[in-house]
Amino acid sequence: NVNEFGDFVIVRSDGSPVYNFVVVIDDALMKITHVIRGEDHLSNTPKQILIYRALGFETPKFAHLPIILGEDRSKLSKRHGAVSLRAFRDDGYVSEAMFNGLALLGWHPKGDSEVILPEEIIKEFDIKDIHNAPAVFDRAKLKWLNGVYIREILDLDDLTSRAVPFFENCGYKADFDYYKKVIQAIRDSIETLMDIEERAKPFFIDDFHYEEDAKTWLETEEGYNVIQAFYEKIKDLDTITKDDFKKTTKEIQKELKIKGKNLFMPIRVALTGKTSGVDIATLVEVIGIDRVKHRIEKALEYFG
């Protein structure tokens, strides 16, 4: 009903065309068949349909989606943080997780799982199933989804290729095979590729500082004796594997009658400077015997 909005301007007094006129010409010349946009464009649609008809163009099909809200229920904008795909990519989000997360804004697959691969979304998605209510952009859920793709779904080689720029941005230089071993070791503990900087540090930094709460494990005679015994057992080795590490620690356990944290924490602190982090058996195998010896020697000197 044209009486509901009256006459409207399509060209300004200076001769420049307005949005509603320009967008119709643009879409018609590009032979656009479907226009899918936010519900904030609803008021423009009848005007544009009239322009299509007046100019003799075929009118496309229009669909209007609920707007996306921030967690404060206001329209999503830059003040809510990163909102561009490029920004999320630079923050370590993988494309499949973004695809999955965006698809869930106002739509849900028929099954119970919210983890649904892009190709499955394409097969199942129907615009008629989109909800009418505005969708709230949940960053925590997106981060969780991203972690699922990193930990469980992406192929190791593919994930490593995507991780290389993040390694390099941290100054962590190595060949692809080494990066791959590191990713395999840390993928279960990261949610975005930006987490690589902190999680991968033990695999690249040999001359680290000991955290204050970690020092206490090597400031005792018992803790120092553990790393001293560990060094005596590995100093003549040319290589070291997870099995070698497990065998060595079992021998120390029997000899010193120490087990649990009192056995493993001094070794962890000597090798990483921290009381938590990556699996130590994996770490020693990846970094190699020479670097393991260097770190233990450093700890023996520092705490001796």
CATH number of 212-303: 1.10.10.350
Its pTM surpasses 0.95: no
DSSP state, residue 13: T
2-65 belongs to CATH 3.30.420.40 = no
Per-residue pLDDT band for 82 (boundaries 50, 70, 90) equals low
CA–centroid distance for 286 within its chain? 23
Query: What's the Cα-to-Cα distance from 26 to each of 19, 36, 177, 263, rounded to whole Å?
Result: 10, 15, 49, 71
Percentages helix, strand, coil for the chain, rounded to the nearest 5? Answer: 60, 5, 35
CATH number of 155-203: 1.10.8.70
Kindly state the average pLDDT of the residues 93-98: 97
78-143 belongs to CATH 3.90.1150.10 = no
Q: Which residue has the higher pLDDT, 49 or 66?
A: 49
Residue 3 burial by Cβ neighbours in a 10 Å radius (0-12, 13-18, 19+): exposed
Residue 6 has pLDDT above 80, yes or no: no
Q: What is the pLDDT of residue 304?
A: 87
Per-residue pLDDT band for 285 (boundaries 50, 70, 90) equals very high
Say if residues 94 and 152 touch (Cβ distance below 8 Å).
Answer: no
Residue 201 has pLDDT above 90, yes or no: yes
C-alpha to C-alpha distance for 129 and 109, rounded to whole angstroms = 9
Query: What's the Cα-to-Cα distance from 177 to each of 10, 185, 203, rounded to whole Å?
Result: 61, 13, 13
| Predicted confidence (pLDDT) per residue in 102-124, tens digit | 999 989 888 889 999 999 999 99
Per-residue pLDDT band for 74 (boundaries 50, 70, 90) equals confident
Kindly state the average pLDDT of the residues 81-87: 82
Among candidate residues 157, 274, 301, the one with its CA nearest the CA of residue 208: 274
| Residue 298, SS3 per DSSP | helix
| Predicted confidence (pLDDT) per residue in 32-48, tens digit | 999 999 898 999 999 99
| Residue 281, SS3 per DSSP | helix
How do the domains of the chain map onto residue ranges? 2-65, 78-143, 155-203, 212-303
